[in-house]
Amino acid sequence: MSFITVHTDQGAQQLPLGSTVADLLAHLHQARGLDDTAVATAVNGEFVARSQRAQHTLHNGDAVLCFSAITGG
């Protein structure tokens, strides 16, 4: 099996080739308790909507940011 390495605010993560943003979030949830329903995501600086995470394939060297949405008024 081939692997890719993606860079996150949680450190470098090694995933199987063909992994998606949803796969990464599931991995981070299992490994570090990240609540994937409470974060927004961006890959290489581009926002990835929650509804698109399962279709957004990651590539070796991608930078993935998981951040909490800020609300207020």
pLDDT in tens, 11-63: 999 999 999 999 999 999 887 777 767 789 999 999 999 999 999 999 999 99
User: Is 56 inside a domain boundary?
Assistant: yes
Alpha-carbon span 6 to 70, nearest angstrom: 25
Q: How many domains does the chain have?
A: 1
pTM of the model: 0.87
Is residue 71 scored above 70 in pLDDT?
A: no
Domain encompassing residue 37: 3-67
Give the strand pairing for 11-16 and 3-8. Answer: antiparallel
* CATH code assigned at 22: 3.10.20.30
Is residue 49 included in any domain, yes or no?
A: yes
* Residue 38 near residue 67, CB atoms below 8 Å: no
| Res. 73 pLDDT band, cuts 50 70 90 | low
Domain membership of residue 72 (yes or no) is no
* 61 domain-assigned: yes
